Chain A
Amino acid sequence: MKARVHITLKNGVLDPQGKAIQHALSALGFDGVDDVRQGKYIELDLQETNPAKAEAAVEEMCKKLLSNTVIENYTIEIE
């Protein structure tokens, strides 16, 4: 099965890249963008066939490597 992991910066953590994207959008004439937060998207192909076990495994992966929980949050979708 497939796992999709989104990693985003926690609220309160400054995101200078998001700010730069926002400025660039504004310079291109895309008005009305109040804020931009950028992050990472990771796709995993798993051998596991049990969704609950797959999610638990990916959760461990997020805690141990995929995200830095000091600054980042993660969400997991299993399909």
Chain B
Amino acid sequence: MKTAVIVFPASNCDRDMIVALEKITGHKPHIIWHQDEEIPPVDLIALPGGFSFGDYLRCGAMAARSPVTKKVIEHADRGGNVIGICNGFQILTETGLLPGALMRNESLKFVCKDAALRVENSDTPFTNAYSEGQVITVPVAHHDGNYFADDETLKAIEGEGRVAFRYVDDAGQMTKASNPNGSRNNIAGIINRRKNILGMMPHPERLIDDVQGGTDGLGFFQSMINAIN
């Protein structure tokens, strides 16, 4: 599986993503600076976490209009796989590749903790190594992870099985207390209709080695290997 990681000014989870992709695929990803005009042919493009362009105007707004992002959109339009983690998810919603928006956390506080996630749909290129209903624990670290979509959009996302992950408690129950940011329907991650684009606020790339405290994120990457290779 050939991969690329896009780096914007103030991306800060790019290295974690590069290390994870190299460990899992056995190949170093292409590292693409936001001013680079070309992305080599790859199976997967990853938009990493961080605070691209200082979160100016809105999180992900500047990065979504950056020239390299046009190439990411072209790759996605050709059916290429794209993942956006944290700021990457914010960028994907700002481009319109994924519906909805990520707003300021309901608590107004930056949230940095482990979150239990329930796998809602295991029939995607990003979740097939998990089983449906499986609860995994993945860290979240964000100030603007409050997923919003209007009623009609939300109904479509839910009806089409496009919620990939939902915040739950340790028993797998969706509760208000287990929702770290106020996201509608406890949504932590979604996919597009074509199932080649995923955005999520939690960080699976931070849980791929025992030294990081767990390996619950490995399944996320293994899924893509299963789907692509």
- Which residues of A are interface residues toward B (Cβ below 8 A)? 12-14, 16-17, 20, 64-66, 68, 70-71
Contacts and interface: CB of A to CB of B under 8 A. Distances in A.
Nearest to B150: A12
Nearest to A42: B57
B148 interface: yes
Contacts of A14: 103, 106, 146, 148, 182
A9 B100 CA distance: 14
B11 interface: no
Interface in B139-190: 146, 148-150, 182
A65 B150 contact: no
A17 B101 CA distance: 16
A12 B149 CA distance: 10
Identify whether the interface residues of B are mostly helix, strand, loop, or mixed.
loop
A1 to B, nearest CB: 22
A12 B182 CA distance: 14
Contacts of B149: 70
Nearest to B62: A65
Contacts of B148: 13-14, 70-71
B65 A64 contact: yes
B103 A13 contact: yes
B57 A17 contact: no
Interface in B61-98: 61, 65, 93-94
A65 B108 contact: no
A70 B100 CA distance: 6
Contact of A71 (B103, B106, B107, B182): B103
B15 interface: no
A64 to B, nearest CB: 7
Given A14-B182, A68-B58, 8 more contacts: A13-B103, A16-B104, A16-B146, A20-B108, A65-B61, A68-B61, A70-B150, A71-B101
Contacts of B104: 16-17
Contacts of A71: 101, 103, 148
Most buried by A among B58, B65, B106, B146: B58
Most buried by A among B99, B105, B106, B148: B148
Contacts of B106: 14, 16
Contacts of A64: 65
A16 B65 contact: no
B95 to A, nearest CB: 11
Q: Which A-B residue pairs are the 6 nearest by beta carbons?
A: A70-B101, A71-B101, A16-B106, A16-B108, A20-B108, A68-B101
